Amino acid sequence: MLHAMRYSKYFVPTLRDDPADAEVISHKLLLRAGFIRRVTSGVYDYLPIGLRVLRKIEAVVREEMDRSGAQELLMPTVQPTELWNKSGRLEKYGPELLRFNDRHNHESCLGPTHEEVICDLVSRELRSYKQLPMNLYQVQTKFRDEIRPRFGLMRGREFMMKDAYSFHADAECLSKEYQNMFDTYCRIFTRLGLKFRPVEADTGSIGGNNSHEFHVLAESGEDLIAHCSSCEYAANVEKAVSSRSMPQSEPGELTLVDTPNATSAEEVSAFLNCDIAQLVKTLVYRAVGGENDGEIVAACLRGDDQLQEIKLAHAIGADSVELASDAEVISIGGITGFVGPAGLSARVIIDDSLKAASGLVAGANKLDTHMTGLDVARDLGDVVFTDLRETRAGDSCGKCGAAMELSRGIEVGHVFELGTRYAEPMEVLFQDQQGKRAVATMGCYGIGVSRLMAAVVEQCNDDSGICWPANLAPFQVSLITMGKSEAVIEASEQVYSQLIESGVEVLWDDRKESPGVKFKDAELIGMPVQVVVADRSLKEGLAEMGVRGGSRQSMPIGEVAAAAI
């Protein structure tokens, strides 16, 4: 990678203001600082400065993967859908798989993941157990036709992934490699300077024993993760809740479910691991408290009773509902609930054949105040309250019985024991030690390389811009020339050459811009060290050096390069 650049010749289009369509900080800053540009929904250009960071993230990932014993290869982006037919997930994968026909009417897809292609490759080459185990990885473009691409690099349609696939003769060997990958991921995310947490994840429809997701902790994260600070048990909420049964209300009884942090119906239902229709078995009361949680997302639906009944019925997938006359239907966080006047209760009766129980009502007048589900429960007295943050002893949501904390996370990595789910239909076979044909056992391990770029920015920013960790910054040093005299240009040139000779990556702002503009851009882009050559201090043979956002020290021009290493 080139060590140095002159800003005047470099393509870094920065923006003064936040782009209107960017919601999260990483999206705003990466656009403003000239790292990325949008091509179309969920598809981005990496501009030169953005590519530098991406390559540095990739380099850390590659170094640690190589160190772990995995071998890099490169598979194609375009995959024949025949392979997906063979594995049995062509239809199951759904509309995220972008399919198209070529001129010979052969159907292909853009690879969202590569289990099929790698199995196809290995199945043709694998003969004997002596070739196992092996772990093959690539760093490559993936395409998933996400229904809601958003937050810039966080959820793209086209994105960079590191994906690895390991092959083993038996489950024990797979477990060892799984642990090896788990440790490798911890090293990678630590080297990237991230606050992260590995959490247990559901193995879902694939089955298998073990799966962990790695989450970067950030308010903007799309996932909810549960964590116990006493026993360190951590899981994504789907996993944390999946082994708990959904709280059931008996007719005439209300179960309040506190779903802190959830701001949409999808999140609440993900949290409860049930669909929206099931949810209404239980009145969902979104905890209102804390700064970001203050607003009730959806407004109360008032007015024509009949209309509300129809809406409610629609929301829960019932044909009709019968509301007590003093009840109102409200929507909280996108979830339809039922509210009666304070102190009174209203019963909503839903057709039993739909397996929905009846629910009761929380005090309507409480909804605009700050209170938690627990407060409501206390208020109502005769209510069964289930706080999903509480874990009881022996509850498979936690190990020790202490309360669980919920936080938001960005999924940046995922490791999975696949077992024979793909190897069997794809016929990844080998001769075992007894000379018998056996199916290989597999693991797969993904890292969202481009999502990581956004995740780092989510954690490392301030009011002025991005604060890159030194090993990921596009350049280590931002060299700023203040003044137009020949002497100051010459001295800057000298510092620039010395930095290059010392192997320091430097972006020299040699533009004819005001110092204000130069400092703003330097802080926005986020180089960790600033070196300033200015007319005033140059008279004494000095330059200034300091870390971004901190104070600067004067030092002789000739000593800058040594100090910057």
The binder of 161, among Mg ion, ligand ATP, none, by C-beta within 5 to 8 A per type, is: ligand ATP
Nearest to 280 by CA among 354, 225, 343: 354
Alpha carbon 506 to its chain's center: 31
Helices 449-459 and 25-32: crossing angle in degrees, nearest 10, is: 100
Does residue number 168 form part of the binding site for ligand ATP (CB under 6 A)?
no
Hey, what's the torsion of the CAs at 496, 501, 506, 508, to 10 degrees?
20
Q: Cis omega before residue 251 (within 30°)?
A: no
Residue 84 or 508 having the CB closest to ligand ATP: 84
Choice between 413 and 443, CB closer to ligand ATP: 413
Q: How far is the CB of 199 from ligand ATP (least distance, A)?
A: 12
Taking CB under 6 A as the binding criterion, the range among 127-135, 311-319, 447-455, 548-556 that sits at the site for ligand ATP is 447-455
**Minimum CB distance to Mg ion smaller for 161 or for 533:** 161
Binding to ligand ATP by residue 36, rule CB under 6 A?
no
Residue nearest to Mg ion (CB): 414
Name the residue nearer to Mg ion (CB basis): 154 or 330: 154
Residue 5 or 270 having the CB closest to Mg ion:
270
**376 or 415: CB nearest ligand ATP:** 415
Positions touching Mg ion (CB under 5 A) are 411, 414
Determine the size of the site formed for ligand ATP (CB under 6 A): 15
What one-character DSSP code corresponds to residue 408? E
Considering only CA atoms, which of 531, 548, 526 is closest in space to residue 473? 526
Q: Which does 360 bind (CB under 5 to 8 A by kind): Mg ion, ligand ATP, none?
A: none
Q: How many other C-beta atoms are found inside a 10 Å radius of the C-beta of residue 230?
A: 13
Binding to ligand ATP by residue 443, rule CB under 6 A?
no
Residue 184: name its binding partner from ligand ATP, Mg ion, none (Cβ under 5 to 8 Å by kind): none
- Binder to ligand ATP among 27, 52, 144, 408 (CB under 6 A)? 144
Side chain identity, residue 86: K
Q: Which is nearer to ligand ATP, 30 or 161 (CB)?
A: 161
**Residue 1 per-residue DSSP state:** -
Element (H, E) at 536: helix 535-538
Q: How far is Cα 344 from Cα 21, in angstroms, rounded to an integer?
A: 45
Does residue 159 touch ligand ATP according to CB under 6 A? yes
**Smallest separation (angstroms) from ligand ATP to the CB of 58:** 14
Beta strands in 301-440, from DSSP E residues, in sequence order: 321-323, 328-332, 335-340, 348-350, 362-363, 384-387, 405-419, 429-431, 437-439
CA dist 61 and 289 (Å) reads 40
Nearer to ligand ATP, 111 or 446 (CB): 446
User: Which residues lie below 8 Å from residue 136, measured CB to CB, with a gap of 6+?
Assistant: 70, 71, 72, 73, 118, 122, 164, 165, 166
Q: Which structure tokens are listed for 276?
A: 């929206």
Q: Which residue, 136 or 161, has its beta carbon nearer to ligand ATP?
A: 161
Q: Which is nearer to Mg ion, 126 or 410 (CB)?
A: 410
For the bound state, the minimum distance from the C-beta of residue 321 to ligand ATP, rounded and expressed in Å, comes to: 34
Instruction: Count Cβ atoms below 10 Å from residue 442 Cβ, excluding itself.
Output: 27
In angstroms, how far is CA 361 from the centroid of its own chain?
36
Task: Figure out which of the listed residues 28, 52, 197, 451 binds ligand ATP, where binding follows CB under 6 A.
Answer: 451
Strand residues in 75-222 grouped as ranges (E): 78-80, 99-101, 107-110, 134-143, 158-168, 196-200, 211-217
Q: What's the min distance (Å) between Cβ of 8 and Mg ion?
A: 42
448 binds ligand ATP (CB under 6 A): yes
Least Cβ distance, residue 411 to ligand ATP (angstroms): 4
3-state DSSP call for residue 382? coil
Q: How far is the CB of 223 from ligand ATP (least distance, A)?
A: 7
| Residue 527: CB minimum distance to Mg ion, A | 33
Find tokens 């429960």 and name the residue.
377
CA atoms within 13 A on the CB side of 142: 25
260 binds, among Mg ion, ligand ATP, none (CB under 5 to 8 A by kind): none
Please, which residues have CB within 8 angstroms of residue 52's CB and are 6 or more apart in sequence? Answer: 1, 474, 475
Angle, CA 128 vertex, CA 122 and CA 134 arms, to 5°: 50
Q: How many CB atoms lie within 10 A of CB 271?
A: 24
- Nearest CA-CA partner of 236 in 213, 256, 258: 213
Residue 396 Cβ, how far from ligand ATP at the closest point, in Å? 22
For ligand ATP, give the closer residue by CB, 140 or 464.
140
x/- mask, ligand ATP, residues 394-423, rule CB under 6 A, reads -----------------xxxx---------
| Range 83-122, binding ligand ATP (CB under 6 A) | 113
> Which residue's Cβ has the minimum distance to ligand ATP?
448
Q: Which spans of this chain sit near ligand ATP (rule: CB under 6 A)? A: 113, 144, 146, 155-156, 159, 161, 411-414, 446, 448, 450-451
